Each structure stands twice: as structure tokens, then as C-alpha cells.
Structure 1
Amino acid sequence: MDDAKTRTRRQILEVAADLLEREGAQAVSTRSVAAAAGIRAASLYQLFGDKDGLLAALAIHGFDLYLAEKQDLAHTDDPVDDMRRGWDMHVDFGLRHPAFYLLMFGTGRPGRRPPAADEAGGLLLKFLDRVAAAGRLRVPPALAARLCLAAVTGVTLSLVGTPAEDRDPEISSRTRDTLIGSITTDPPPAMDPGLAARALALDAALTDAGGAAFPLRPAETALLRDWLHRLAR
């Protein structure tokens, strides 16, 4: 894409994002966005195809905003406490950008994954590998990621749909603490973290190794990881 098209695309997304935040997804039409951006509708169609294409691009734009805030969340020596802060940041993002959040994590069609689900799941999985490597995870990271994403998006969507004056912050904090308490262990100062936590920590170490200078063949590595997951049950 040449520079002129890149600038036009960025301009359209900025105008559409402003319209989305002020008036919601129902106000974002190809006609309204083209008029607000001062361009011909044909130019918008060339870049995004139709309204669905524009909304899909907006969902990606929203995830870029979300990711920028997530990356600003500094890691500490306590990965479980980082989980709590990550949860709170996720909910806060949804409440500050409700129209974007509904576009990113909501879906109007049964069986269709929300636009941001895969990206958010991958980001969360990398984070949970840190928790597993610290010996603090009771379940495999992939399962923990699905549980966390289901819980935090459910809470956030519920709060977004509740009038601001009726929102109870304990709904988020209690759900967060219950979920995190069920999938993590206490810090192991001098005590044995347990076989399951050790198995998950070794599995996380294999992920970090990435196959470089690793003595096992791929099939042997897959078998070892299967055994580790069984030990973690």
C-alpha cells in the first residue's frame, strides 16, 4: 500500500473510531464515515470493501489500543499479582472504551469467535507461561488462558451493559480472586510446590527453550509434554 493510501486509511480509521466511541457501532456506516472524513464513499470501499470490512479493521485498531496499554503494564517478581493487575486493566479498558470492547469481544452470531479472541488468548497464554515457570499454576497454561479470558470478558461485558451508577466493583474483584485462586498455588518459599506445579514449570521451560540445542527429537518432546500434562492433572 502506497503512502497516500496509508494516510487515507489511517484518516478513515481515526474518523470511524471517533464516531464509534461517541455514538456506537450503529452509527458507523460507510456513508457517515466517508462524509466525516471528507472523502468519496468509493475511496472507502476500495480500502475496506464494505461496512463489515470497516468494522473488522476497527476491531483490529481497538486491539492495537488494548495491546499498547497491556505492554505498559510492567512485570513484577510476583506473576500472580501481575495476573490481578492484568485483569483490572482489561476491565478498565472495556469500561473506558465500551463501543470498542463490544466490537472486539462481543459477537452477534452464535458460534462465531469475537474478532479479538485469538489475539487476546495468545497474549494471555504467553503471560501464563511465566506463572507456570514460577511453579504457581495448578492447570496447564492453555486451559488457564481459556478460563481467564471467558471470565474476564464475561464480567466486562456484564459491566458494560450495566448503567454506571449501578455497577458494583466487587463483581469484578470477587470473580477475579475466585478464578485466580482456583488455578494458582500459594508462593512456595521453602516448601515443595507439588508434583503438578513442577510438571507445569518444566513444560513452560520446554516452551522457552524453543527447540534450540534441545537433545530430544520432536516426537520425544511431544511425548514428554504429554506426560507432563498428565502429571499436572
Structure 2
Amino acid sequence: MLPDEKFNFLSKISKAIAGQFGQNCEVVIHRINEDNINNTVISIENGHVSSRQVGDGPSQIVLEALKKQAGSLNDHVNYFTRTHDGKILKSSTVYFKDEEGKVEYIFAINYDISALAAASETISSFISIHDDEDKDREPDYIPQNINELLDDLIEESVKLVGKPVAMMTKEDKIRCIQFLNDKGAFLVTKSGDKIANFFNISKYTLYNYIDAK
């Protein structure tokens, strides 16, 4: 592919990416020319992101491409950069080489995530908790109805013991029943029947387990 054809191809891709992701997405094409490193930007979409325009000079990535051996340069995808005015960008850089293996074009995508980062920080501080005992606990489940609440409490009691009902000992079942009692499960109408059936015990045994010390 000739240089002009390659540039036309990259230019179409850059317009498509910028159009797809909107005004916060800057797409830059640098032409690498050792004889002219002061004006490497030959195409730019949404240049307001970094306050650059066609004819502007190189970035550190361009200088790196000029300094390093082409074979040691690898595409760099999904990393953070910052602009002079403090914007936070999520960037990707792709190197395009000529037939001799020399870097000919650098294709860069810079997405301004400043607003997203600020929103993320605000959301994080809003939903975080400062109680060290609770920070690793799973969020409490909010049931849709009383039956779902009872099912959830029974499931919690099984998780507490860590084994299925069929493998539980008498002591395991007592632990589950007393957990349910402490959680108020037996305040639910007819919960005793459901819990007794679940743990495969009689109602008489159930009440003995509640009172067991």
C-alpha cells in the first residue's frame, strides 16, 4: 500500500471512530519523518480534547518512535494520559510501518474520561462505608415478599454451616435453627412448618432445637 493510500485508509478509520464515540474522542495521525519532527500531526479529529491541530508537533510517543529501533516498538493499548490542562485521557497507540519495517504513521486514540472519572469518584465515595467490619460483607438482599424473605434466611443458615442438609449433623441443624430464631424467622406465619420440612425434622424436634443450649 502506498503512503497516500495508507493515509487515506487511516483517515477514514479515524473519522469513523471519532464519529462513533463523539466529541470526547480524539483521533490523531502522526506522520513520522526524521527530517521534520516539528509538524508530525497530519490529521486530527476532535482536536479540542488535547488543544492540537494539523501541523502541530510530536508527543513523547512520536519521539520514542524516532529514537527506538522500530522492531522494539509495540502497540500500546488502553493506558492513561493527561493533557496540559489536566484532562484525564484513556489512550491507545498503534504503529504502522513501511515495507522496510520503519515506523511511517502513528495512529492514536485519546478519549477524555475526566467527567467519567469525577463521577466515578463521587459515586464511590457515596456508596462506600467506613465500618471495617461491614466492608467485606455482601450487600443485604431486599426480598419481594415474605416467602422470599424466609427462603433467603434459610439459605443464609445453610451457608453458615457450609454443608447441605443431607450431610448436616444434629449440631449443624441446631446451629441453623438457632440462627433462624435469632434472625426472627419464626415470626413469619407458618414458618415452623416450612423450616421443619426443609431440615427434615418434626415440629417437636424443631422447638427442642430452638431451646437447645
Q: Which TM class, normalised by the smaller chain length? A: under 0.3
More RCO (CA 8 Å, sep 6+)? 1
More helix by share: 1
More strand by share: 2
Q: TM-score, normalised by structure 1?
A: 0.24
